[in-house]
Every structure is written in structure tokens, then in C-alpha cells.
Chains A and B, each alone.
Chain A
């Protein structure tokens, strides 16, 4: 008779086996009737594997709706096996799920899926981010026009940009709660702005050049420099419309510099 397993081996063996779909049970597991507890161990396997896949489904509801629950669950279980969570806080589990899906061969026929998932990552990150009041647009009112170009802004901590060659905001909206999937006539790229100035997370479709504009401001550019970045990104970049939109959606937390020229 073999000696009883030391505890470290016990939990290593249990942990390895419980992450496998099938395969032999660790030694030393029993049931009251003395038969091998295959079905009993399967309860733990299912709790771990299906439980983590369900955690992903609840973080990516639009993605699940696009590919269907069965496909999503199979894809999620593959991800879970390759990328198990490394923290007991699951709020951030799946941050790199979009990258995994982008390279997941069976999902290649849905090329926009990864970008929809990126919006969902951005939404949940914004949902849990630190609270901070957005910049009050009135703060800009008394700045002399000649000083405006030198302003720098601090982005609100909940801001995320998702740039896509697909109409990703339209697709996400159609597949989000309350949305209705339908045909898309003009298949044009869209950039998403995700932001939560107060308690509700918003997803906005950015105007042309808007993502480059906000990204430049986030990198510390002045308003004039960011406007140039927007114009380089798009011939149709409209500074006034983009600045107004950014202010009204709560993209900035404060003026970082240049307030008093």
C-alpha cells in the first residue's frame, strides 16, 4: 500500500485534474460506497470549467449573442484551459479574451467579434474604474480664444477607445441588451468611445478622426497638436464637433495645463 499523499501533492494533483475535461482521478479520492468517485469529481470539474466559462459569458453578453451560447461556451472553455485566472478577483478576468478570440481559428468567419469583445472589456473596466467627476465644460468659458490651443487635458479614468475596421459600435448596439440584430448596409469602420462620467457606462460612435484626437490628448498633446492628429487621421476631422462631443460625454476629468496662459 502506498503511503498517503503529502498535502502539496494532494492539491497539485487535484488542481491539475480538475482543470482537465477528462482523465484519471488523483489517487486517494473516495466515496462512502468505496467505488471510484468519477461522477463526484466531475461536479468539481464542471464547477471550475463551466463556472469560469459562465463568468466570461456574463462579461461578454454581446459576444455570446453573436456566436450563440454553445459556440461561446466551447470557445470560452478553450480560453479557460489556456488562460486560467491568476487572481481571485474575477472582475478583470478575460481582459485578453479579445486577443485570444482574434487568433481563434474557429471564430475566423466572424472577423468583427474580437472588436465587439474589446468594447465589452472597455465597458466592464469603465464600470469598475475609480469615480471622478468629469470636467465641467463651463471651465473653458473664460479662457481667451488665443490660449485654447495650448490647453492640455487629463482624460477621465473610465475612458477607453476601440478602433475598428468594422462597424463595431453598430454591431455591439444591435447585440447589447435591448438591441435587435439586423442588416448593415454600409460596412464602414467605426471607432468607439467608452466612458463612465457618473454611474452609467456609455458607448459612443466617434466622428471621423475622433479617436486619434482623444488618443493624442490622452498622450499629453495640446489641443492644437491633438487637432492636427485628428486632421491627419481624417480629411473630415471637425475640431469644434469633436471637442464639444468630448466635453459633453465626459471624456476629460480636468484641464491639466495652460489654464492660465
Chain B
């Protein structure tokens, strides 16, 4: 199973307020991505818009509520909703996060971190297996932006992800902003992280902006806010990844303080230029 069939071009996270501008003319974009949970109503404008976009562009469905990292059984009703959505729109890719967001039946609406141990690894593998079996397709698992660490963790995140990939056959969604945010927050090298990351299994890349804060001792604390343009260090990491693995589907996420369409489109076009330059080198 190929983990993703997204074209190796640039895309953006779709925002309904951009629908008019997007459909007014052909866009220089390869795909759009939507958050699965926003399309779990029965009908109405969201589905009308998504069906229209689907006609003209490749589609990535990105879940934010499945809670794959939770230490409890996956929510079967939610998995069924995801299957119905994937069956309806036949996206080129389905992705979710290495994180948890539900506890009991309470949904906490955030991508919460998990310790990396043999026990959590076994659980995540079991969950990814069940997702892939239920959906009848391979999924991409995204590396998280994290703010703190767990004393009980024994496995580096890159190794944890590599084990999940090896045991389930899933692909990876490499969020370069998350790499930068987490590396900064944990006083580590983003380059080292990428050197250890299973880059050959990356089916999509996420690009986004973050906000800078500090913790109580003055150490940098970056917040994965998706509220700004992609900053230069994230572009640099992105370019280094593309230089190593060649063109891969690359998405700009901008979820808060969303700008007008031309601003977001320019961000995606910047990613497209990096991809085009790499494609030329590959061809040469």
C-alpha cells in the first residue's frame, strides 16, 4: 500500500472564507487539505464546497480528533465517520497525529503529548493497524509539536515513529514547523532530528508558523499557533528536506488569524518554487 497518492506539489489548508476566491480562477496548487471533523455534518454548505473543490484538485483529509495516542480503545463511532468521509470523497491521503485528544468520552480538543515507551508504542501500533484496516487504506502519521517531556519516556520520537512505520506500513506526515518548535522547546537540534527521521516514508510535508514565548526560567517556548507566515528557519529546514528526498506534497497550514486568499496563496507558491527547483535537479 502506498501511504499517500498526493501529487508532489504545493497545497493549502482549505478555509471556507476563501472558497469564492479559489473557485474564481484556476489556482496554481496541486491539492487542498481539510480537517475531517469539520465535514462530519449531514449536509449543507461544507459538503457542497468540498465536493466542488474535489472536482478540480487532489484532496487530503486530515483528522484532528481520532486520539491515536490515547490509552483507550479507539472511538469506533468516530472511525466509522472517518470511513464514511473517505468513502465519499476518496481522498489521495488520510492523515492523523501522534497525539491524544480524548480521555474517557471527554474530548479535550488539543493534540496532547504522550510518553514514548514500549507500552505506548504497542498501543499506537495497534491503533494505526485498526485505522488502516477499517479505512482500507494506508495512513500518514504526523510528528507532534510538543512543549514538555515525560520522565518515563525511553524511546526517541524518531525511533518511535520508525517503529510504527515498520510495524504497520503507514507513512509519515512530516510537519517541519513541529520539528522546529519541538527541537527549540527541548533544546535539541532540528537537523539531528531530521537526520534520524525515516524520510523515505514521508508522504506529505506540513509548513506553518509559530509564536515565540519563554518559560519561567527564560528558556524559549515556541507555540504551534498556525497564525503567521512560515518563518525563515522553517523554510530552511524544508529546503534541506526537499534537497534530500526530492519533491513531495507540501501543505501550508494557516488556521488562526487567517489572511486573505492572495497571502495564503503566495505562501503555497513559495513552497511550489522549492519543489520545482528540486524537480529540475532530479531531472538533471
Q: Which residues of A contact B (CB under 8 A)?
A: 4-5, 7-8, 10-12, 14-15, 18-19, 27-33, 35, 37-41, 43-44, 47-48, 51-52, 55, 84-91, 126-131, 196, 199
B282 CB within 8 Å of chain A: no
The CA-CA distance from A217 to B110 in the complex, in Å, is 43
Give, as a whole number of angstroms, the nearest-CB distance from A10 to chain B. Answer: 6
Give, as a whole number of angstroms, the nearest-CB distance from A257 to chain B. Answer: 25
Are A129 and B44 touching (Cβ within 8 A)?
yes
Can you list 5 contacts pairing A with B, beta carbon distance less than 8 Å? Answer: A18-B108, A29-B150, A33-B217, A90-B109, A127-B44
Binds A, one of B4-12, B95-103, B263-271, B272-280: B95-103
Residue in contact with A15 in the complex, picked from B108, B152, B219, CB distance below 8 Å: B108
The CA-CA distance from A30 to B71 in the complex, in Å, is 20
- By beta carbon, the residue of chain B nearest A131 is B43
Are A40 and B110 touching (Cβ within 8 A)?
no
Give, as a whole number of angstroms, the nearest-CB distance from B186 to chain A. Answer: 5
Q: Which residues of B contact A (CB under 8 A)?
A: 37-38, 40-48, 64-67, 70-72, 75, 78, 81, 100-110, 112, 114-115, 117, 119-120, 123, 147-152, 185-188, 213-217, 219, 221, 223
Give, as a whole number of angstroms, the nearest-CB distance from B205 to chain A. Answer: 23
Are B150 and A30 touching (Cβ within 8 A)?
yes
Give, as a whole number of angstroms, the nearest-CB distance from A49 to chain B. Answer: 9
Q: Contacts A90-B109, A199-B45: A4 and B221 contacting too (C-beta < 8 A)?
A: no
Give, as a whole number of angstroms, the nearest-CB distance from B204 to chain A. Answer: 21
Which residues on the B side are within 8 Å of A30 (C-beta)?
148-151
- By beta carbon, the residue of chain B nearest A41 is B148
The CA-CA distance from A90 to B101 in the complex, in Å, is 13
Which residues on the B side are within 8 Å of A55 (C-beta)?
109
Which residues on the B side are within 8 Å of A27 (C-beta)?
151
Which residues on the B side are within 8 Å of A35 (C-beta)?
215-217
Which residues on the B side are within 8 Å of A44 (C-beta)?
110, 112, 147
Are A85 and B217 touching (Cβ within 8 A)?
no
The CA-CA distance from A85 to B213 in the complex, in Å, is 29
The CA-CA distance from A114 to B67 in the complex, in Å, is 33
- By beta carbon, the residue of chain A nearest B77 is A87
Are B103 and A12 touching (Cβ within 8 A)?
yes
Residue in contact with B221 in the complex, picked from A40, A87, A89, A130, CB distance below 8 Å: A40
Are B115 and A10 touching (Cβ within 8 A)?
yes
- By beta carbon, the residue of chain B nearest A91 is B41
Are A5 and B152 touching (Cβ within 8 A)?
yes
Give, as a whole number of angstroms, the nearest-CB distance from A194 to chain B. Answer: 13
- By beta carbon, the residue of chain A nearest B48 is A199
Q: Contacts A28-B150, A88-B102: A47 and B186 contacting too (C-beta < 8 A)?
A: no
The CA-CA distance from A89 to B150 in the complex, in Å, is 29
Are A89 and B81 touching (Cβ within 8 A)?
yes
The CA-CA distance from A41 to B120 in the complex, in Å, is 20
The CA-CA distance from A94 to B72 in the complex, in Å, is 25
Are A85 and B151 touching (Cβ within 8 A)?
no
Enumerate the 3 nearest inter-chain pairs by beta-carbon distance, A residue then B residue, closest first.
Answer: A88-B65, A128-B41, A131-B43
Instruction: For the A-B complex with A47-B110, A89-B37, A127-B41 known, give 4 more contacts whose Cβ atoms are closer than 8 Å.
Output: A31-B186, A38-B215, A88-B65, A89-B78
Give, as a whole number of angstroms, the nearest-CB distance from B130 to chain A. Answer: 16
Q: Contacts A7-B71, A88-B101, A89-B37: A33 and B78 contacting too (C-beta < 8 A)?
A: no
The CA-CA distance from A91 to B78 in the complex, in Å, is 13
Which residues on the A side are within 8 Å of B120 (C-beta)?
7
